[in-house]
């Protein structure tokens, strides 16, 4: 099964607005109480606040109070009392559970609980999302948000049947980077000149306006807020579609989890490069690729990124001296020369083939290692996560001297 988020606009209703405002107020009261007692346990917060909230706000029904409590617990669990206390804005998004809304998809209507009781609204499903409504779908949850101060959007989590996964016979390695967003092992490069130019223009404009500090400059900064993020989201959608549309059964990516946190905590790179890491939306691109692969019945493998940039894709020789600069790779072992990103993508593809070859081997599982049926995991090797399974692989390499 696949889970997709469908955005459906709702007609403006003041009762919904008032419900969101009161809901967020109750969420903040739960956050304050949980912060005071240093707990994000739902049962403890329920005992501390439920009767008080029901007496204080009788118009907010019981299920919505429980939804607000769950949202507050999630926000507290995310912070773990290590940073500043979370603050809920009056008209930020709110969550509904299965008891507080009822969708009537065939009639394109939805029933939602408000402070004035149950109310029904016309459900407008955009043309792009109609492909998820085939009769076998199931709505699992709903979130309400406000856009542009007067538009109410319902975000429906829809569970739809997934197509069968194709047998992986061809593998496409993809190297993600800051200067070149995506380089594939079939010698294709995604043109990123316009992306770099647009991001540079936004950065220079923000620096200029922030240095001025006038009221008009601050108004302009407010208008620019989110534009670069939306631009990059659109580009990542295009890049993901470009990758998945290529004629390969399996997409192989590097497991870059924790890259930004490591570079910031340990100060391994300078401030300028840390800023570039902060603006690098590699995880968003990864999620879009996984989503499209699920839709097209393809697989995704994640391999350990260690030595992918220093390893020669021809002879397997590894050395720091192989990587001369950002774009040039020259193997000191065999003299092979190639674009550095293309060489890395070929290594990633080779790792993916090896990973897939070991996916069906049965061996004892190491203590404390997560496992699934018909999958090998050894504590002595690097763990590699794939779509639908977890496997392990440590490629044979020749380590060169520094």
pLDDT of residue 106: 83
Q: Is the same domain home to 40 and 156?
A: yes
Q: What is the DSSP letter of 234?
A: H
For residue range 248-287, what is the model confidence (pLDDT) as tens digits? 989 999 888 776 655 555 556 667 776 777 778 888 999 9
Domain range holding 68? 1-161
Q: Using alpha carbons, select from 177, 201, 182 the residue that is nearest to residue 239.
A: 182
Q: Is the same domain home to 23 and 54?
A: yes
Q: What φ, ψ does residue 74 adopt, rounded to 5°?
A: -65, -40
Q: Is the same domain home to 43 and 139?
A: yes
Q: What is the CATH number of the domain that holds 299?
A: 3.30.420
Instruction: Judge whether 208 lies within some domain.
Output: no
Instruction: Judge whether 217 lies within some domain.
Output: no
CB-based burial, 31-55: b 16+ in 10 Å, e otherwise: bebbbeeebbebeebbebbeeebee
Q: Is the same domain home to 29 and 101?
A: yes
For residue range 112-160, what is the model confidence (pLDDT) as tens digits? 999 999 999 998 888 888 888 877 778 888 999 998 778 899 999 988 8
Q: What φ, ψ does residue 393 adopt, rounded to 5°?
A: -160, 135
Instruction: Judge whether 138 lies within some domain.
Output: yes
Q: Using alpha carbons, select from 138, 61, 59 the residue that is nearest to residue 100.
A: 61
For residue range 196-218, what is the model confidence (pLDDT) as tens digits? 899 889 989 998 999 988 999 99
Instruction: Judge whether 204 lies within some domain.
Output: no
- For helices 271-278 and 259-266, angle between their N-to-C axes, nearest 10 degrees: 160
Question: Is a pLDDT exceeding 80 seen at residue 358?
Answer: no
Q: Is the same domain home to 299 and 339?
A: yes
SS3 label, residue 117: strand
Higher per-residue pLDDT: 267 or 161: 161
Q: Is 228 exposed, middle or buried (0-12, 13-18, 19+ CB in 10 A)?
A: middle
Rg (CA), the chain: 25
Instruction: Judge whether 207 lies within some domain.
Output: no
Instruction: Judge whether 391 lies within some domain.
Output: yes
Instruction: Judge whether 196 lies within some domain.
Output: no
Higher per-residue pLDDT: 54 or 148: 54
Q: Is the same domain home to 176 and 142?
A: no
Instruction: Judge whether 361 lies within some domain.
Output: yes
Q: If you average pLDDT over each of 23-37, 120-134, 312-326, 355-369, which comes out highest?
A: 23-37
Q: Is the same domain home to 60 and 116?
A: yes
CB of 345 closer than 8 Å to CB of 185: yes
State the virtual CA torsion across 7, 12, 13, 18 in degrees, nearest 10.
70
Counting every residue, how long is the chain?
Answer: 402
The span from the first CA to the last CA of the chain, in angstroms, equals 49
For residue range 279-288, what is the model confidence (pLDDT) as tens digits? 788 889 999 9
SS3 label, residue 11: coil
Q: Among 36-40, 246-250, 305-309, whose mean pLDDT is lowest?
A: 305-309
Q: What pLDDT band is residue 72 in, cutting at 50, 70 and 90?
A: very high
């Amino acid at each position: 099964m696949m889970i997709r988020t469908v955005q459906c606009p709702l007609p403006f209703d003041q009762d919904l607005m008032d419900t969101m405002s009161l809901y967020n107020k109750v969420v903040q009261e739960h956050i304050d109480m949980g912060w005071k007692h240093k707990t994000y346990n739902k049962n403890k917060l329920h005992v501390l606040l439920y009767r008080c909230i029901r007496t204080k706000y009788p118009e907010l029904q019981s299920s919505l109070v429980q939804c607000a409590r769950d949202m507050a617990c999630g926000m507290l669990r995310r912070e773990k009392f290590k940073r500043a206390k979370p603050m809920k804005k009056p008209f930020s998004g709110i969550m509904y559970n299965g008891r507080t809304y009822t969708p009537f998809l065939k009639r394109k209507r939805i029933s939602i609980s408000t402070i004035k009781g149950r109310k029904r609204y016309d459900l407008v499903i955009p043309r792009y999302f109609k492909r998820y409504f085939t009769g076998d779908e199931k709505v699992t949850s709903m979130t309400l948000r406000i856009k542009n101060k007067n538009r109410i959007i319902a975000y429906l989590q829809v569970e739809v049947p997934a197509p069968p996964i194709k047998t992986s016979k061809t593998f496409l390695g993809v190297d993600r980077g800051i200067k070149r967003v995506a380089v594939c092992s079939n010698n294709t490069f995604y043109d990123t000149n316009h992306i770099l130019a647009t991001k540079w223009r936004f950065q220079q404009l923000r620096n200029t306006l922030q240095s001025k500090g006038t009221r008009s400059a601050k108004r302009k900064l407010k208008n620019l807020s989110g534009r670069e993020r939306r631009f990059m989201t659109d580009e990542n959608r295009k890049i993901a579609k470009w990758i998945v549309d290529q004629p390969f059964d399996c997409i192989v990516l590097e497991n870059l989890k924790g890259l930004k946190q490591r570079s910031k905590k340990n100060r391994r790179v300078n401030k300028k490069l840390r800023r570039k890491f902060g603006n690098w939306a590699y995880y968003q691109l990864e999620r879009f690729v996984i989503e499209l692969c699920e839709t097209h019945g393809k697989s995704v493998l994640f391999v350990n990124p260690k030595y992918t940039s220093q390893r020669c894709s021809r002879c397997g020789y590894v050395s720091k001296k192989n990587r001369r600069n950002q774009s040039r790779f020259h193997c000191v072992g065999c003299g092979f020369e190639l674009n550095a990103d293309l060489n890395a993508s070929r290594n990633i593809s080779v790792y993916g083939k090896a990973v897939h070859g070991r996916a069906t081997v049965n061996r004892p599982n190491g203590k404390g290692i997560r496992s699934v049926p018909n999958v090998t995991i050894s504590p002595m090797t690097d763990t590699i996560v794939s779509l639908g399974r977890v496997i392990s692989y440590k490629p044979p390499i020749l380590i060169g001297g520094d």
